[in-house]
Copies of this chain bind each other. A is one copy, B any other.
Amino acid sequence: MSFSPSGAVADVPVGTSLLDAATQAGVEVAAPCGGQGRCGRCRVLVTDGVVERRANVHLPQPLLDEGHSLACQTFVTGPVTVEVPARRREKVRPHGHAAAEPEALPVSCDWRRDPAVRVIELEMEPPSLVDQTSDLDRLRRALARHDIDDVRVEMTLLHGLGQALRDADWKVAVALEMRDWVYGTYLPPRLLDIRPASEACRSFGLAIDVGTTSVVAYLVDFTTARVVDTESAYNRQIECGEDVISRILYSQRGAGLLRLQRLVLETINDLIAELTTRSGIGGGCILEVAVAGNTTMTHLLLGLDPKYLREEPYVPTFSVAPKLVAAELGLKVNPQARVHCLPSVGSYVGGDITAGVISSGLYATDDLTLFIDIGTNGEMVLGTKDWLIACACSAGPAFEGGGVGDGMRATYGAIEDVWINAETYEPSFRTIDDAPPVGICGSGLIDLLSELFVTGIVDKSGRIDRRLAAVTPRVRVRDGLGEYVVVWADEAGEHRDIALTDGDISGLVSAKAAIYAGFSVLCGSVGVELAEVKRVLIGGAFGEYLDIEKAIRIGLLPDLPAERYSFLGNTSALGAYTALLCVNMRHAILDVAGKMTYLELSADNSFMEEYTSALFLPHTHLDDFPTVKALLEATSVGSGRREAADHTDRRDERS
């Protein structure tokens, strides 16, 4: 048999799996689950010949019909030719869609007819003794011929106006902000830029997602509405604290607030420099900016004291930011460029979530929909186009790799996929960039916990079964804590064992319990069952890297059919992109923020009860997780397994 495009060949007996054949031929095929048919990653295309395939949930019929096969579940019966897809070239991905170009605007908008900014070339009659109209009025007059009846010009631009017009010999290109969107009333267009017509530039905008961990910028061409380039980086504020609470604490120290503001501005300005250098455009051609960020991030970006976000009753200074321009903030785009901050709802439901409600389409749907953004905080919105209710659960940093001994952020060398062989208890894993493993990132932790659970290494209360130490060296006890070793020191990037302990698991279970309790309380508050949710939209940090099935198995996500789940990528940046380009959506965003009810969990009595119920794997009420229950019943994975099914489901009792 042969492999394309490499041309490698293998001489193997009938009955050999394509995966084994590939290994023998030296062809790399990803198989993080170790060839158990569970992960679905080893997909190849059989282009010629006949094979025998086992049924597998990971390959739907249409793909099967085309010849797609899972290499580990497909076996040679004769001469065969197999095409191995090229491995995706992945940049480091602080966020799901960071580097991927968004396909299209997530909403419909008439950006051509109702543009946010316009660049217009004007040719004016020079002044004379019989026409002494002032420079500014001459400009207005020329604009009136383009149906622009008035224009606002701020002092900064007025300073150079006389010289600019004369230097350009009265032929100029002006850039205008066409729409002001914060305060109900539309104002006349505002002059952003004036330069000789011969030096006119296309108009660009910048959509920025300012996350606690990472900052993502999209460079948008206003003349095509396309994202022409994207760039992302860690938020430099990380050096002052990993999460929002530690940033708020840092802001209270001396010049802490100023430093935090400076650091995030530096982060953004570096992204701008990167994007403009690569695209060969001047920063002055970036004429409008939209920023989505959580409430703490926007407070810090604007240099506003976030103190009261953290102190009960958790009140932000603003929800709709005042108008400001790039020069006020120090952003290195056109100094006059308007900076729009997407409005927030509360101290822990910020502009990133408003952005998500817009870009996910939740704001316009009839179906009962749950939008979630899981990071340090699990923010979630439940609703339809008619109503929206939101809450935020403090999950702690576990899902971003914090508070876990060998946890780390989703970067080079982080284990992101884990599979454990139920027979041997041996793991297989994949790391970001296939680098030597250094630690485990959020999605890897969820995978690992799920695998430990379904293989019976961890019981429903989250404890490692120490008896297995007698069966596998992977399970051991250290300093009184049970632990499972994922990577031995000699295979690890930093030459030490990478393991997950009872203590780490306890933190992860707490985190998932907080998130799941949020879902429960949100539904309970409006009298619906989680099972009634028609769609679950996942935005934010996890993005496509989260394995839904595994997340359900540990009880992080509700046990709903896979087709109800969608991964939307960086919904925050997409929302900023929408606000940047679609002036008609700017009012919609304000409406969304205005009508969203914020449920403060610390003031909600049912939260603690729901949280406590969720402190088991997958949950105290196993009947709420029918697929997990079925899996546990179907597989024979150790003695602790059946106890879960025995547990009284209190929810059933109540209903």
Contacts and interface: CB of A to CB of B under 8 A. Distances in A.
Contact of A317 (B134, B154, B323): B134
A603 B315 contact: no
Contact of A318 (B136, B304, B328): B136
Given A161-B317, A328-B155, A132 B598 contact: yes
Contacts of A488: none
A129 interface: yes
A132 B349 CA distance: 12
A322 interface: yes
Contacts of A305: 159, 162-163
Contacts of A28: none
A347 interface: yes
A313 B132 contact: yes
A316 interface: yes
Contacts of A138: 315
A158 B304 contact: yes
Nearest to A315: B127
A571 interface: no
Interface stretch (A180-188, A357-365, A629-637, A638-646): A180-188
Interface string A175-205: 0000000011101100000000000000000
Given A128-B313, A163-B305, A134 B600 contact: no
Copies in the complex: 2
Contacts of A304: 158-159, 162
A307 B319 CA distance: 46
A518 interface: no
A346 B132 CA distance: 7
A137 B183 contact: no
A477 to B, nearest CB: 43
Contacts of A314: 129, 132
Contacts of A312: 129
Contacts of A313: 127-129, 131-132
A128 B153 CA distance: 42
A496 B602 CA distance: 90
Given A153-B322, A183-B150, A317-B134, A129 B162 contact: no
A588 interface: no
Interface string A118-162: 000000000111111111111000000000001011110011011
A9 interface: no
A489 interface: no
Nearest to A295: B134
A92 interface: no
A308 B153 contact: no
Closest 3 CB pairs of A and B: A129-B603, A136-B318, A127-B315
Given A132-B347, A155-B303, A155-B324, 6 more contacts: A133-B315, A134-B316, A134-B317, A150-B184, A155-B328, A158-B322
6 contacts: A129-B600, A132-B314, A152-B322, A152-B323, A153-B318, A154-B322
